[in-house]
Every structure is written in structure tokens, then in C-alpha cells.
Amino acid sequence: MSIAKVFIANRGEIACRIIRSCRALDIKTVAVFSEADADALHVSEASHSLEIGPAPVAKSYLNQDALLMALRVSGADAVHPGYGFLAENAGFAAAVENMGRIWIGPQPQTIEAMGDKERAREIARAAGIPVVPGSRRFSPGDTAGLAATGEEVGYPLLVKAAAGGGGIGMRLVDDPENLQAQVETTQSLAERSFGDGTVYLERFIAHARHIEVQVFGFGDGRGVHYFDRDCSVQRRFQKVVEEAPAPGLAAETRASLCAAALALVAHVNYRGAGTVEFIYDRQAEVFYFLEMNTRIQVEHAVTEMITGADLVAAQIELAAGNLVLPEQGDISTDGHAIECRIYAERPEKKFLPSPGELKRFDFPEESAGLRIDTGLRQGDRITPYYDPMIAKVITRGQNRKDAIAHMVQALDEIEIEGVSTNLEFLGQVLRDRVFCEDLATTRYVDEGSYRLEASGVS
Amino acid sequence: MATTNVTSEVIGTVWKVEKAKGDAVEEGDLIMILESMKMEIPVEAPVTGTLSEIKVAPDDSVEEDQILCLIES
């Protein structure tokens, strides 16, 4: 088995990132594009390109029929899905394999199992990994044994609608005396909002950090990890600042996190690059499995900066059967890396997106300690059809303080005109005492300490 | 009777329209959902009143500050 041409079922910076690794491996690339992306950078960077449909994602980058037809005519032997779009769509992965092409990613059944959050939790439990304590489901009218269940889960706890999402239909309960009433209220609210009044209880972790482990499985139960990342700074449940390694973790905590992630890799015979996400309870100093992402992630670059690995190249080589399997003992970290995602958005207006034309798009020169991943150039239009992320800036330093200082400087040198961006917000975060010293929890952006620092009221 | 213009905060497209012309709305009621850069942006009634006109339909492109609908109150 070998791969001569890779079909990239994606756009933007990750498509450009995949092209870079393919070039290094001397592999040709096929880019796909929507009508809105005909002049995009990933199209001009690829060896070949094919149009797949109109601008809206449902008609182009999510249109499986159009993609499969393009794959057939492209003559590519393998498909790299990037992240987002169809990267975690088991049906698409299976369709690619059924066409006799190589899917650069985990087996379709792994994607499917991990995509179902409830099943993923069961698998994690079976692999011996702690999950956030939760209860059975309670249908409307059913509150049997509720008080005892509440004690088991532990307080404070959340009453969550099974059909809910994005924070809708969630209630925080501190006092066991309120549990019955809150469950009944949530059941009737969920019934009205989602047509399904089923709820369950879950322990609420007040001071949580989002910590994840980069894994790489060989598909036969074996695999390695590339250590951890912290992605606690989030807005609208999307990460904004990521770093590796996760700061302030005790060596034994790090070792058990990485071991837990590898246990999951072994349990599902995981194939390729993946990320096991955990919630880390700062106060109790314990971690719980959150979910597994069965793809390369946006923030993989911080791991590459401190380990020297090329994870995308490793994905392709594993798929081609050419990978010299890495040994855990050969993987180590050097220094500290931070990534800032530059979004075209308005932080002052609840982070609403801000499309437009990039009249100016100037970044400092890349160096050993500075990496810029983007799929855009000056003069490009940022359309309302796609994700507002316009670039990733990654810095590396000997330690966290160095990496932060390097990032502050890089952010100051970036000049973007034509769209609003979160550059100023990022600068405030990087200079904020809470971020720099206390370390952020997932409520960091809502708590807003970066604003106080910026106005000098610290 | 006062007329309130409900405008779009972003450039994007109309995803769903949840109310119809003539519907009574209360302040905070969801009128429609816009979509821009993968984000769903709810458009809520700024005042209590009656929807006298809806100027957009699903899949329409909208500009920032474009009038989406009118409320009589």
C-alpha cells in the first residue's frame, strides 16, 4: 500500500497545513473548493483542485455525494478530512473505504462509537477511566430514589435535559432540599423546549480546567501519547488559547492522565491521531473523561512545537503503511508552546462574527519560536459561510513565561485591517495576572478578569 | 402606535423564521435565527407588540443593520 495523491476534504488553514506535510513526503494533493473559495489559498497551493458546489457548506464541504464524485475523478488514493466538516462522520469514512480509497483517520466504527457521547462514556468506564459522576435518566413523573441518587452523584450538581445542549435546560443545585423541585421544573421545561422531558444528574465541577492528551494509535491496541495540552480559555464553548504542556500539573497527575488516554487507545484499537479530553477538577485535583476527538485537532500545533513531531505526516504515513512506529521513550517535550486563534469577530459584541475583506493581513516572520498557520492572504474576502478563525499564531519558549512574552510581542506585530478581530482581547488575556499566574478555568472568559487588567483596575 | 425596526447585527443568512406576520410577540421572544460563520444568532423581539411585517425569508442574505422585521407596539 502506498499513497501518491491525497484528496483533502476541507478548506482554509488545515487544508494548507495538510498540503505542507504532503509536500514534505513528496505526495501530490487534490484540493476541493466551493464557489466562494475559487481563489482561496488552499486551491492555489494544491497540485490539483476540483469545484464541489455552491458556497453554503451543506452544498459543498458537507455534500458527501459531490465529494465522493470528486474523489472518484481525482484519482487520489487517500482522503484526509482535516478537522470539522466530515472529519468525524463515520458514514463518509465508510463510503471512502468502500470506494477502495484509504481513509486517513480512525476506523469508521471508532468514529461512530466516540461520536455518541453516552457510548463514549461507557467505553471510557470499561477502559477503567473515571467519568464525571452522573445518574440514570429520569423521565417526567419519575423521581423514584431521587434523593439517594443526588447524594451518590454529589453536590453541587447539575440537572441536565437529556435532549438539551449548549447550556440550555441545565440547572445548578447546591442544596439537596431543592433537588426534587428543580428536577420537576427541568423536566417540564425540557418537555416544552425539546419535546423530551428526560433529565439526568451530573456532578458540577466549579473550578474545572480543560486538559487533553494527544494520542497516536497504531490500530492494533498499541500507541503512544504526545503529552498534554490545556485549552481552558474558551468562548462560546470554542477554544481560543491553547498551550502545551498543561501548566501546573503534578508529575504523577500528568502520568496518570497520559496512561488513561493510552488505556482508551488500547481498548478501542485506536488508529491514527486522536485527542482524549478531560475535565480536571482544580480543587479536588482529580480528572474525568470528557470525550474523545477522532481527528487531528486545531491545536495540534502546540504539541508539534514542543515535541518536534509532524502529526499530520505521521497520520499519512501510518495510513500508507510506511510509518516507522514511534516508541514512547523517544517522545519528549522541550519548552512550552502557546497558540492563539485569531478570529474575525467582535469580542465587545459577545464575540459576534465579523466577515469582510482583508485589506491588510500582515504577520511577523516565522522563526524557530514562531509559527503562523493560515489559509488566507491580504486581499482575500472572509465570507459569512465558514468558521471565523482566520489564523493560528503559535509561539514556543524555554518556559511558559518565555512563550507568553513571545506571544505578546507577536500579537503586537500583527496588522489586520478590514475586519474586526479578537487581537486586542488576546493581548489582554496574555497580560492578565489570572491567566499568567493563577491559570484559567473554563469560566475564565465569562469571569472577565482580563478586562480589569486592561483598564488598570487590578 | 410606534414602529420598531428590528435589524441584523451581522452579515449572514436567514436560517429559520419562527414567527409570522401578524403574530403577537413579547419582549425577548425569538423571531428568527440568522446564521453567520457557523454561529446561530437569535433575533429576539426588542419590544412587546405585533409583527407588522417580516422583510426576509429563509436563505436570504442579510447585511449588518439591514431591517429584518417591524413590530407595532
Give the start-to-end residue ranges of the domains of chain A.
Answer: 5-104, 134-203, 208-455
Domain count, chain B: 1
Q: Is A295 a residue of the active site?
A: yes
Look at residue A400 and tell me whether its pLDDT is greater than 90. Answer: yes
Q: Which candidate in A295, A371, A396, A400 is catalytic?
A: A295
Chain A hits for B62, CB-CB cut-off 8 Å, are none
What's the domain range around B17?
A: 3-72
Which one of B14, B33, B36 makes the best mutation probe of the A interface by having the most chain A beta carbons within 10 Å? B36
Q: What is the mean pLDDT of chain A?
A: 93
* A contacts of B12 (beta carbons < 8 Å): 353, 355, 384
State residue A423's pLDDT score: 97
Helix (H, G, I), strand (E, B) or coil at A376: coil
Confidence of residue A456 (pLDDT cuts 50, 70, 90): very low
Instruction: Please report, for the domain that includes residue B50, its CATH number.
Output: 2.40.50.100
Sheet holding A199-203, edge to edge: A134-138, A199-203, A157-165, A168-173
Q: What is the 3-state secondary structure (H, E, C) of A117-161?
A: HHHHHHHHHHCCCCECCEEEEECCCCCCCHHHHHHHHCCCEEEEE
- ipTM confidence: 0.71
Class for domain A208-455, per CATH?
alpha beta
Please state which CATH number belongs to domain A134-203. 3.30.1490.20
CB B37 to CB A349 under 8 A? no
Closest-CA residue of A relative to B34 is: A384
Q: What is the pLDDT of residues B20-37, one digit of tens each?
A: 999 999 998 889 989 888
Alpha-carbon span A349 to A311, nearest angstrom: 36
Is the pLDDT at A226 greater than 80, yes or no?
yes
Mean pLDDT of A363-370: 97
Cα separation values, A393 from A127, A277, A400, A424, B29, Å: 36, 22, 15, 14, 40
What is the predicted pLDDT for the residue at A168? Answer: 58
Residues with Cβ within 8 Å of residue A262, at least 6 apart in sequence: A215, A223, A224, A225
The pLDDT, as a whole number, for residue A438 is 85
Residue B69: count other Cβ atoms within 10 Å of its Cβ.
Answer: 22
Fold of the domain built from segment(s) A5-104 = Rossmann fold (3.40.50)
Q: Is B33 on the interface with A (CB under 8 A)?
A: no
Q: Collect all residues from A whose CB is shorter than 8 A from any CB in B.
A: 56, 236, 344-345, 349, 352-356, 384-388
Please list every residue in chain A whose beta carbon sits closer than 8 Å to the beta carbon of residue B38.
386-388
